[in-house]
Amino acid sequence: MDREVIYKDAKTVITKEVDKEVELEIRHYPLVGYGNNHGTRIIVSDDTVEVYDFANGWAVRGSMSGTWEVARIEDKEFAERIRQEIEKVKTPDDFNKLVEIINEQQDKISDEVNELFKEVVNELEALAQEYSYREELKELLSNKEKLREFLSDCLDSYLADV
């Protein structure tokens, strides 16, 4: 399928290709007349949004060429929202705002995952502490001398409060 040119000036081109996936790409040519370029590509499938940065032809024999994944979000509703937002992209600023929306969603998901991770860690710490108390209690019950001492301390503490 051919790429549709959405925007073009001396140094920047935005293209869109629609097939099974929607692909929107911005490509910057900082040295007019040379093939060196860099940019960002957004790929939206039915349930996934991906963002890649890329560089082509940089340095000696293209040694700094490559593609790097920046974001990947698997969410059908979000993918549909981005498909709709792609239709509004007409300028590099529009493209950058779209990338910002995707990055904000990625950050939101990362924050949610971090919160869930903290909750799991806290639960594990609570379980470990409960287990530790059980071990201490087991030790107290197995040693009558320590049990007497512990109960005496508890009774003294209770009577002091009353």
Q: Where are the alpha helices (DSSP H) in the chain?
A: 76-86, 92-142, 144-161
For tokens 């509703």, what's the residue?
77
Per-residue pLDDT of the chain (162 residues; tens, 9 = 90+): 678 999 999 899 999 998 889 999 999 888 776 778 889 999 999 999 999 999 887 555 556 678 899 999 999 999 999 999 999 999 999 999 999 999 999 999 999 988 888 888 888 787 777 777 777 767 767 777 777 777 777 777 766 765
3-state secondary structure of 2: coil
Percent of the chain with pLDDT over 70: 90
Q: Tell me: the pLDDT tens digits for 96-108?
A: 999 999 999 999 9
Domain ranges of the chain: 4-114, 118-161
Alpha-carbon distance 112 to 118, whole Å? 10
Where b means 16+ CB within 10 Å and e means fewer, 56-92 reads: bbeeeeeeeeeeeebbebeeeebbeebbebbeebeeb
Question: Residue 105: which residues within 8 A CB-CB, separation 6 or more?
Answer: 49, 73, 75, 78
Cα 20 to Cα 16: distance, rounded to the nearest angstrom = 13
The Cα 3–Cα 42 span in angstroms is: 14
